[in-house]
């Protein structure tokens, strides 16, 4: 986990292997059928911690998203167990969301600032809090797409 004082990372600042994996998974997150197939395979549990680092999540935020304790996630990582299909799907959607957010805002820091503030287009909800469900992730993605197209309503 990281603290608020840690610098936000753009996708380009992530290690090369991780950047390639996230870029591929980000594309998977845009194709519903490919997403389901990849989620059924199971995403490595270590990816949850990659998500936490990229999004600068606190332990309680990570636990809320995955509905698992950080201890359980660590155990899965150490045992090289994959996440469940539902958690894998959520992870792939979150990675696609991150890639889109960095693209829309031009840098991770700006995207992550937006993610942590009430959004008018989301009825005043804090986008980060909506990442706890796949439907919420979809709502945040749709809002980012509206922003990208200049529809700020």
Query: How do residues 123-148 score in pLDDT, each as one tens digit?
Result: 999 999 999 999 999 999 999 999 99
Q: How many domains does the chain have?
A: 1
Mean pLDDT in residue range 99-125: 93
If pLDDT is split at 50, 70 and 90, which confidence band does 59 have?
very high
Contact call for residues 8 and 116 (beta carbons, < 8 A): no
* Residues spanned by the domain of 85: 21-148
DSSP state of 67: T
Structural element, H or E, at residue 34:
helix 32-41
Rounded Cα distance between 126 and 147, Å, is 15
Average pLDDT over residues 14-41: 68
Residue 60 lies in a domain: yes
143 found inside a domain: yes
Which residue is associated with the tokens 């990229």? 54
pLDDT top residue among 81 and 8: 81
Inform me whether the pLDDT recorded for 22 exceeds 70.
Answer: no
Inside any domain, residue 44? yes
Residue 53 has pLDDT above 50, yes or no: yes
pTM, two decimal places: 0.82
Residue 139 falls within a domain, yes or no? yes
- Residue 112, domain member (yes or no): yes
Distance CA 44, CA 100 (A): 22
Q: How many CA atoms lie within 13 A of 6 on its CB side?
A: 15
- Structural domain includes residue 11: no
Residue 45 · residue 51 · CB < 8 Å:
no
54 burial level (CB within 10 Å; 0-12, 13-18, 19+)? buried
Average predicted confidence (pLDDT) for the chain: 84
The two structure tokens encoding residue 22:
């996230």
Q: Which residues pair with 44 in a beta bridge?
A: 82
Residue 16 domain flag: no
Closest CA relative to residue 144, chosen from 131, 127, 124, 123 = 127
Question: Is residue 8 over pLDDT 50?
Answer: no
| Confidence tier at 152 by pLDDT (50, 70, 90) | low
In the predicted structure, residue 18 carries a pLDDT above the cut 60: no
What is the per-residue pLDDT for 37? 83
């Amino acid at each position: 986990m990281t603290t608020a004082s840690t610098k936000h990372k753009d996708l380009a600042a992530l290690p090369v292997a991780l950047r390639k994996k996230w870029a591929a998974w980000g594309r998977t997150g845009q194709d519903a059928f490919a997403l389901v197939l990849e989620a059924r395979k199971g995403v490595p549990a270590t990816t949850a911690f990659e998500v936490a680092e990229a999004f600068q999540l606190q332990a309680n935020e990570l636990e809320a998203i995955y509905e698992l304790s950080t201890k359980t996630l660590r155990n899965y990582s150490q045992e090289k167990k994959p996440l469940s299909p539902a958690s894998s799907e959520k992870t792939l959607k979150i990675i696609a969301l991150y890639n889109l957010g960095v693209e829309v805002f031009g840098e991770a820091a700006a995207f992550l600032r937006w993610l942590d503030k009430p959004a008018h287009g989301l009825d005043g909800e804090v986008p980060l809090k909506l990442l706890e469900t796949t439907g919420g992730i979809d709502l945040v993605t749709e809002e980012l797409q509206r922003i990208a197209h200049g529809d700020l309503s």
